[in-house]
Chain A
């Protein structure tokens, strides 16, 4: 990574905007957030990713001030926010349900927060107009929320939460209700807005593609804990656990036992009658330690003829082909019963493809293609 890239989390001098310090949140006996510690920096686009019920909304609600941590401390710009009520925080939230005021017009919804600040009338007008322009809602200013479409409502909610120019904007599954195309458009719009306004965004999503598209860093959560925080490419290329590897994108997981056979190099014995796999790992594994090799399907090469000089080679039968237009995913069953997915670009027309269902094929990948994971 070059020195001009935006990466304050790598700078030990940088002070985080938000600090969760050993935060635990319990609802009765139920632990929604479990001893969570994390730093989020100014101007970041930070994505919380995880399955439903893992505590993403709860984290947001603690930042917005609707829940208080049972234990631990949350700092915003260096100050503990526990005693600050929601209406006094420089934080705005875009609700999962949008929570637009149904009795107010689009214009009044956007102006709502500004009016509470006793802003002069002219300034309110200017600011609302600016927000309407930014979200391309000028034409709908006089409409009530029930008179506009879902996508427009979502933009009103965004405009309303941006209007007060908060230090921190919380977006709780903001694009959940949109269809795919509008969703992608809006993702880029969000990134654009974030760049223009310099606001720190924390976005909750359970869509990994969305997190990868918009975020500067992604936190993968499970059961109230953060499993891994890293940039989208690190999360994808070097997941720290099977859970993360599995959660982000498609992956082949092969279980086996490790035997060190050189510097950062291991032989993985994994199935009866198959030669051990070669895998590289900077993380040390001991002799006979249980491990998992995680390989992305696009890093597995598929061939009709046996290739030479490859690190890992297995033979199998094509079970299934998922045709995705530009690429195809081949599900290949090995003699041991394991199914391995391989992806290949469809550079030829389908009719001229050199293998099809039931064909015997060779799969190969390099020692560095996969990641060796302990758990």
Chain B
């Protein structure tokens, strides 16, 4: 009995916070746009009965997604940006995590604090702050002009570069923390054993440190990739007209076009795309837990 309750709790949670909203969105994606409130039809009413209601649903919006190349281009471009920024985040995050794990133990809580500290201010404010840094008259350009490194301001804001900077900055802690956790657990005598057996410092790093932090790398990469794929705030604030990301398209369909059904279809497809990395991520976590037992 207690067991049943314990198992039921997470499922109820999932049902209330994921499945119910998903079914609602899915239903909207099968509807037609209309000048109504809410702006789609059919609306369910008890008078007409459930069959009449169901008969009006169709997959038109999904077919529409395949007809207009905006959508698949946006998906593809999002995928590209998410992959590329995940790699960048890894390249920036790994050395930081490595440095933290190697730091004297009395420093580590402080370093950890510094990594988490940005979460104490609103994400939106921090992205706006980046606009202030990256704009033509922003701090970065003023600084570079000031020291005479450049004579013309760099155009960074409203380009993909700014989007990459934004994503790397925002999701860096999600990359650092799992890698740090993996490196922290790594037994230092393994590196010494590798050197003892003829490895240089560098090859010991490749042959021992990297493989043994693999799970941290994988976990961190998924934690960055998954939210980056559907990211909306960063591309709309830092990106330009040329930045095509599915999150932005979704927002425009909802709020500019008020086409809820197509927007919902976009969301459902995005979710289906995300299921693959989420499942892979779960697998990785399970494998890790098994290995630790």
Show the binding face of A for B, using Cβ within 8 Å.
64-66, 85-87, 91-93, 95, 97, 99-103, 112-113, 116-117, 146, 160-161, 164
CA distance A85 to B199 in the complex (A): 10
**Given A87-B198, A87-B200, are A101 and B192 neighbors across the interface (CB < 8 Å)?**
no
Whether the pair A101, B193 counts as a contact (CB closer than 8 A) is yes
CA distance A306 to B123 in the complex (A): 94
**Given A99-B190, A146-B291, are A116 and B196 neighbors across the interface (CB < 8 Å)?**
no
Contacts A65-B195, A66-B195 supplied; 13 other A-B pairs, CB < 8 Å? A64-B192, A86-B195, A87-B199, A93-B196, A100-B193, A101-B212, A102-B212, A103-B211, A103-B214, A112-B194, A112-B197, A116-B197, A146-B291
Tally A-B pairs: CB < 8 A: 57
Q: Collect the chain A residues with CB atoms within 8 Å of residue B291's CB.
A: 102, 146
Contacting residues of chain B (96-112) with chain A, CB-CB under 8 angstroms: none
Q: Collect the chain B residues with CB atoms within 8 Å of residue A116's CB.
A: 197-199, 203
Whether the pair B196, A87 counts as a contact (CB closer than 8 A) is yes
Is B189's CB within 8 Å of the partner chain A?
yes
Q: Collect the chain B residues with CB atoms within 8 Å of residue A99's CB.
A: 187, 189-190, 192-193
Q: Collect the chain A residues with CB atoms within 8 Å of residue B214's CB.
A: 103
For the complex formed, measure the closest distance between the CB of A133 and the CB atoms of chain B, giving whole angstroms: 20
Cross-chain contact of B193 among A65, A85, A95 (Cβ < 8 A):
A95
Is B278's CB within 8 Å of the partner chain A?
no
For the complex formed, measure the closest distance between the CB of A64 and the CB atoms of chain B, giving whole angstroms: 6
CA distance A99 to B186 in the complex (A): 11
Among B197, B207, B291, chain A packs the most CB atoms within 10 A around the CB of B197
CA distance A160 to B194 in the complex (A): 11
Q: Collect the chain B residues with CB atoms within 8 Å of residue A146's CB.
A: 291
Q: Collect the chain B residues with CB atoms within 8 Å of residue A164's CB.
A: 197-198
**Given A95-B192, A99-B187, A99-B190, are A160 and B211 neighbors across the interface (CB < 8 Å)?**
no
Is B233's CB within 8 Å of the partner chain A?
no
CA distance A99 to B191 in the complex (A): 9
Among B189, B193, B203, chain A packs the most CB atoms within 10 A around the CB of B193
Q: Collect the chain A residues with CB atoms within 8 Å of residue B195's CB.
A: 65-66, 85-87
Whether the pair B197, A103 counts as a contact (CB closer than 8 A) is no
Whether the pair A103, B212 counts as a contact (CB closer than 8 A) is yes
Q: Which 6 pairs across A and B sit closest by C-beta, in order of nearness?
A: A113-B197, A116-B198, A99-B193, A99-B189, A86-B195, A103-B211
Is B33's CB within 8 Å of the partner chain A?
no
Show the binding face of B for A, using Cβ within 8 Å.
187, 189-190, 192-200, 203, 207-208, 211-212, 214, 291
Q: Name the residue of chain A whose CB is nearest to the CB of B211.
A: A103
Whether the pair B198, A101 counts as a contact (CB closer than 8 A) is no
CA distance A95 to B195 in the complex (A): 12
Q: Name the residue of chain A whose CB is nearest to the CB of B203.
A: A116
For the complex formed, measure the closest distance between the CB of A81 and the CB atoms of chain B, giving whole angstroms: 14
Q: Collect the chain A residues with CB atoms within 8 Å of residue B194's CB.
A: 101, 112
Whether the pair B199, A66 counts as a contact (CB closer than 8 A) is no
CA distance A113 to B200 in the complex (A): 12
CA distance A161 to B208 in the complex (A): 17
Q: Collect the chain A residues with CB atoms within 8 Å of residue B197's CB.
A: 87, 92, 112-113, 116, 160, 164
CA distance A116 to B194 in the complex (A): 10
For the complex formed, measure the closest distance between the CB of B185 and the CB atoms of chain A, giving whole angstroms: 10
Q: Name the residue of chain B whose CB is nearest to the CB of A64.
A: B196
Q: Collect the chain A residues with CB atoms within 8 Å of residue B193's CB.
A: 93, 95, 99-101
Whether the pair B189, A97 counts as a contact (CB closer than 8 A) is yes
Whether the pair A86, B196 counts as a contact (CB closer than 8 A) is yes
A sample of 20 cross-chain residue pairs with beta-carbon separation below 8 angstroms, ordered by A number, consists of: A64-B196, A66-B192, A95-B189, A95-B192, A97-B189, A99-B189, A99-B190, A99-B193, A100-B193, A101-B190, A101-B208, A101-B212, A112-B194, A113-B197, A113-B198, A116-B198, A116-B203, A146-B291, A161-B196, A164-B198
CA distance A146 to B194 in the complex (A): 18
Q: Collect the chain B residues with CB atoms within 8 Å of residue A160's CB.
A: 197
CA distance A92 to B214 in the complex (A): 27
CA distance A117 to B207 in the complex (A): 15
For the complex formed, measure the closest distance between the CB of B214 and the CB atoms of chain A, giving whole angstroms: 8
Q: Collect the chain A residues with CB atoms within 8 Å of residue B192's CB.
A: 64, 66, 86, 95, 99
For the complex formed, measure the closest distance between the CB of B94 and the CB atoms of chain A, giving whole angstroms: 18
Q: Name the residue of chain A whose CB is nearest to the CB of B192.
A: A66
CA distance A146 to B208 in the complex (A): 16
CA distance A102 to B194 in the complex (A): 12
CA distance A71 to B195 in the complex (A): 24
For the complex formed, measure the closest distance between the CB of A156 and the CB atoms of chain B, giving whole angstroms: 12
For the complex formed, measure the closest distance between the CB of B281 and the CB atoms of chain A, giving whole angstroms: 20
Q: Name the residue of chain B whose CB is nearest to the CB of A96.
A: B189
CA distance A87 to B211 in the complex (A): 20
Q: Collect the chain A residues with CB atoms within 8 Å of residue B199's CB.
A: 87, 116
CA distance A161 to B207 in the complex (A): 17
Q: Name the residue of chain A whose CB is nearest to the CB of B293.
A: A146
CA distance A102 to B190 in the complex (A): 9
CA distance A101 to B198 in the complex (A): 14
Among B195, B196, B212, B291, chain A packs the most CB atoms within 10 A around the CB of B196
For the complex formed, measure the closest distance between the CB of A93 and the CB atoms of chain B, giving whole angstroms: 5
CA distance A103 to B208 in the complex (A): 8
Q: Collect the chain A residues with CB atoms within 8 Å of residue B211's CB.
A: 103
CA distance A266 to B136 in the complex (A): 99
For the complex formed, measure the closest distance between the CB of A115 and the CB atoms of chain B, giving whole angstroms: 9
For the complex formed, measure the closest distance between the CB of B289 and the CB atoms of chain A, giving whole angstroms: 13
Q: Collect the chain B residues with CB atoms within 8 Å of residue A87's CB.
A: 195-200
CA distance A86 to B201 in the complex (A): 10
